[in-house]
Structure 1
Amino acid sequence: MMLIQIAILDDHQIVIDGLKLLLENEDALKVVLEETNGFELIKKLEEKTLKVDIVLVDLMMPIISGYEAALMIHRQFPDIKIIILSMNNDAKTIYDLVEHADIKGFLPKSVNKTEMIQAIKKVQDGGLYFSDELLDALEIYQKNKNEKEDFSLSDREVEVIQLISKGLTNKEIAAQLFISEFTVSTHRKNIFRKTDTHNVASLLALATKLHLLPKIP
């Protein structure tokens, strides 16, 4: 049986230790690299002294986020498979990671040993590992994303919608975007026309559905 060599990237050593404990008695799996900093992990991978098949990546990290680390790993080491291990299961974030970092799986940090091992082996064999719930969420997000593109909203119009959602007036939006009030007014008219909405409440309801508004921490 071929040994699957694993790297772990998480800013909490206690999480790394817990993952190693889960995997230590599995003959087919071996943790060969662990780091709490994305830059350090990439530096170790660049040395090419260790063969790594799969990297388990946490998303919420300081210095360099797991999202950025996943993009860098995919760009520099396309043969290494990436599984995200995080409590953040935001559909947009995962969708973007699938599209831009070619991640092969997602696991919550509450994952048990059986599921963890099953996911690693499936990904190593060329498969994907996402829960049914997450796949449903990704499908809904993609549908909404396509709808947003159908509305042909520009990046500037999306910015205006986001500022409207914060309760800013045309004058305040103009000041923040360094444009005239007349331009803001024109953007608003175009936004209502493109989205076929007739008031701020219906516009923001649609914007929420299309994931246009920033998440509230």
Structure 2
Amino acid sequence: MNATIGIVEDQQLILKSLEMLVNSFSHFDVVLSATNGLDLFEKLDQHFSIPDILLIDVRMPLMDGVEVAVKLKKNYPAIKVVALSGLDDSMSVVKMIKSGCCAYLLKSMNLDDLEFALEEIWAKGYYNSRITDMGYQETNLKLMDLKENEMEFLKLACTDLTYHEIASIMCLSIKTIDGYRATLFDKFQVRNRIGLILEVLRHNLIAFPQAKDSI
């Protein structure tokens, strides 16, 4: 049996293109599409087909991605909610994951990566494209021995600050900050900053403000 997919995207051309692309994948069928959050919940409340996985845009009119994700988590907890966005900034990732998304995918990704991501989400309930090996074992945080300066760097890295701004705040050289970055990428087995943020969130290493429930 194929997994069922829903898509929420306010741009009609992108919405229709995504429908065709996902329907071309071997193990997935699009059963629901909506142009915004209100349209989505109207269809869900009318007992439209409830998808296994729901791809939602981050920036939308009427209800943004965070509002949609929070309401889905509250009212339809069985749906695996995935952010699919053109935004790759740190705070967008943090907000969507903390709002209940199990993955953050970029619209610029190629088709093979999108299909693989959907397969991973369907099988495991979680996907981080920045992890080097998707078959990795659970990271042992005790063995990581995160130092105080590394924890401070992690907190600042989970913001929109540049590495140069982080260096200034920590009163360190950019070379030292680059060293922290490389060390933590290696410890968490990730390839870049967004991957690092997703792992920090997964391990609850930093207390982020919780998203408020939508009405």
TM-score by length of 2: 0.60
For 1:116-135, what aligned pairs fall within 5 Å after superposition? 116-132=114-130
Q: Say if 1:25 and 1:100 are closer, same or farther in 2 by CA, change over 3 A.
A: closer
Counterpart of 1:21? 20
For 1:1-80, what aligned pairs fall within 5 Å after superposition? 2-80=1-79
Moved more, 18-27 or 120-129: 18-27
For 1:92-111, what aligned pairs fall within 5 Å after superposition? 92-101=91-100, 103-111=101-109
Q: Say if 1:140 and 1:84 are closer, same or farther in 2 by CA, change over 3 A.
A: farther
Instruction: Check whether the contact 1:91–1:141 (CA below 8 A) recurs between aligned residues.
Output: no
For 1:144, give the aligned amino acid.
K
Instruction: Check whether the contact 1:92–1:141 (CA below 8 A) recurs between aligned residues.
Output: no
Structure-1 separation of matches of 2:153 and 2:113:
26
Q: Say if 1:31 and 1:141 are closer, same or farther in 2 by CA, change over 3 A.
A: farther
For 1:125, give the aligned amino acid.
A
**Alpha-carbon deviation of 1:27?**
3.6
Counterpart of 2:84? 85
**Alpha-carbon deviation of 1:147?**
10
**Alpha-carbon deviation of 1:33?**
0.8
**Alpha-carbon deviation of 1:206?**
2.7
Q: Secondary structure at the match of 1:22?
A: helix
**Structure (1/2) with the larger helix percentage:** 1
Extract unaligned runs of 5+ from structure 2: 132-149, 160-164, 171-176, 178-215
**Alpha-carbon deviation of 1:127?**
3.7
TM-score by length of 1: 0.59
Extract unaligned runs of 5+ from structure 1: 134-138, 149-201, 210-217
Runs of 4+, deviation exceeding 3 Å: 139-142, 145-148
